[in-house]
Structure 1
Amino acid sequence: MAHKDATVAELQKNFEDSTAVVLTEYRGLTVAELKELRDSIRQDAEYAVVKNTLTKIAANNAGISDLDADLNGPSAIAFVHGDPVAVAKGLRAFAKAHPLLVIKGGYFDGAALSAEEVNKLADLESREVLLSKVAGMMKASMSKAAAVFQALPSKTVRTVEALREKQDTAA
């Protein structure tokens, strides 16, 4: 009983500390394949094989009841502590190479995700790519502003010079 309480407490902490979770079914995967999967997403997530009843209790204790219907069969959860997009991409890529891995759903930003929505999340660009695009747009905007500011003084000088020439020819 104490072991189950400790497991529930640990799972609840994982739910509370995660930015997202992705629920999968791993039926038929070998231990080596599960290790390969863990290693592929280790940078952004912890992948754990879980007992459904204890996971339901822990998720409900953490305020998440949306996963209850999907907690059947052999389940494993990716507890995301890094980039959810990178984890979704990693799981989808692994599932393509190993069709026995089934993405059942997930939970992100206070809402349940269907398997299809997890795949849509995988279609997004990673945080780093999005940040670099924003930086590029900001740099381009700053370059345009700098060009405008540089053009103003030279245009003013040309205008003053033209007025001077006009004045000299009129005199």
Structure 2
Amino acid sequence: MARPDKAAAVAELVDSFQESTGAVLTEYRGLTVKQLQDLRSSLGENAHYAVVKNTLTQIAAKEAGVAGFDDLLTGPTAIAFINGDVVEAAKGLRDFAKANPALVIKGGYLDGRTVDVSEISKIADLESREVLLAKLAGGMLASLSQAAALFQAPLAQTARVAAALQQKAEQDPSILQGGAGEPAAVAEEPVAEESTSTETPADDEAAASTEA
């Protein structure tokens, strides 16, 4: 490879390291071109899979500040640069390796540190971001449904009371006047009869003296 081509290849690898959330190194010896295409398709948008030269990758890793790759860069090497969900990419690589034993996962670099095969396997066993979000959304919906039920319960009770009152009022309109049936007649207190006589006490005395 000419020097300018090497520089361009290293620069591209440096960008891949810096822009990705992680990288998983694999040995692809024995995989057909069709199988490599299937692997790239299975990873989808979560990662892009690139066959690399070990010497150039060592240079690019150092320039990108990625350490601990030297021991993994042996034999034919290809790297899955993870762009999306790390868990989903790890699952894709693991499942493809199970179906195609020629793909060997050697290790990787995640969260600023190197990880071995066992750690990648543990990551693959985790639930993906989509699943976790779905569970979170389901939990939120359940909480909202419970909250809605709590809000609706008093309203339903109020509606039942209102319906009962309406039915009662239709049967007995006086209930709307504050009674529970025909209002009882108000008992009137007896009023003392007023004298219709216009005579005064003085007139009474005069009349008595005349009779005498």
Which of the five TM-score ranges fits, normalised by the shorter chain? 0.7 to 0.9
Residue 68 of structure 1, CA deviation = 2.1
- Give the TM-score normalised by structure 2: 0.69
Once residues 92 and 143 of structure 2 are traced to their aligned partners in structure 1, the CA distance between those partners, rounded to angstroms, is 34
Letter in 2 for 1:10: E
Q: Does the residue aligned with 2:66 lie in a helix, a strand or coil?
A: coil
Asked if structure 2 preserves the Cα contact closer than 8 Å seen for 1:107 and 1:113, the reply is yes
Please say which of residues 33-42 and 86-95 is displaced more in the overlay: 33-42
Partner of 2:22: 20
Greater shift after overlay, 11-20 or 36-45? 36-45
Determine the structure 2 residue equivalent to 1:36: 38
Aligned length: 161
Which one of 80, 87, 108 corresponds to residue 82 of structure 2? 80
1:43 counterpart SS class: helix
Listed one character per residue, the Cα deviations across residues 110-161 of structure 1 (whole Å, up to 9, x for unaligned) are: 2221111111111112211110100011111222222233345667999xxx
1:61 and 2:73 aligned: no
SS in 2 for 1:22: strand
The 2-side partners of 1:153 and 1:100 are apart by 65
Work out whether 1:136 is the aligned partner of 2:138: yes
Q: Letter of the aligned partner of 1:78 in structure 2?
A: A
- State the alpha-carbon separation in 2 of the partners of residues 119 and 156 from structure 1: 57
Task: Tell me the amino acid that sits aligned with residue 128 of structure 1.
Answer: E
> Which structure has the larger Rg?
2
> Could you say what secondary structure the match of 2:102 adopts?
coil
**4+ residue stretches of structure 1 with deviation over 3 A?**
149-158
| Letter matched to residue 100 of structure 1 | A
2:96 is aligned, of 94, 97, 103, to 94
TM-score by length of 1: 0.84
Structure 1 counterpart of 2:52:
50
Q: CA RMSD in A?
A: 2.1
| Residues in 1 aligned to 2:17 and 2:155: alpha-carbon distance in whole angstroms | 59
Secondary structure of 2:146's match? helix
Q: Distance in 1 between matches of 2:130 and 2:159?
A: 44
Q: CA separation in 1, counterparts of 2:19 and 2:76?
A: 23
In structure 2, the residue corresponding to 1:42 is in which secondary structure? helix
- 2:127 is aligned, of 125, 128, 131, to 125
What is the percent sequence identity of the aligned residues? Answer: 60
Contact 1:56 1:65 in 2 (8 A): no
Q: How far 1:23 moved relative to its partner?
A: 0.7
Asked whether the 8 Å contact 1:12–1:62 carries over to 2, the reply is yes
